[in-house]
Amino acid sequence: MSVSMSKPWTPLTAENVALVPASVGVFEIADEIGVIAIDFAGGNSVFGLRGALDEWRGKQSGLLFRYERTNAYLSRYREVVQVFVNEFGAVPRNLVGVDAPAGRIRSN
């Protein structure tokens, strides 16, 4: 199993977001250059992944997304962020200035 998210990217449109389950899970947002956000829809989220992605839809046009539906959303989120930081040397844009997960997990 890859420790990075590996599903194909999907355009962040209203039609595509409507197909996303309202479950808990982890997601990534990318622009034309690369990943700009890693986040999760947790137990307090309203409409789970669908609601969280819908919020991103209004922020910027031309974005892409991918997600994993998982009840282990916190551990998966921390793993994906660690892999990203160890690969790119910095947190994605949405985690700048916050207590982002830090650790030693790298891409296999």
- Closer residue to other proteins, CB minimum distance, 13 or 75: 75
CA dihedral 57, 86, 41, 24 (to 10 degrees): 120
- Shorter beta-carbon distance to other proteins: residue 33 or 98: 98
Q: Please, what is the minimum distance in Å from the beta carbon of residue 4 to other proteins?
A: 11
Binding site for other proteins (CB under 8 A): 1, 3, 42-44, 70-76, 78-79, 82, 99, 102-106, 108
- Range list of H helices, the chain: 14-18, 48-57, 73-88
C-beta of 16: minimal distance to other proteins in Å?
26
The residues, ordered by sequence, that sit 6+ positions from 66 with a Cβ below 8 Å of its Cβ are: 5, 7, 8, 9, 10, 27, 28
CB 31 to other proteins: min, Å: 26
Nearer to other proteins, 19 or 104 (CB): 104
Cβ 99 to other proteins, closest distance in Å? Answer: 5
CA angle in degrees (0–180, nearest 5) for 18-20-24: 130
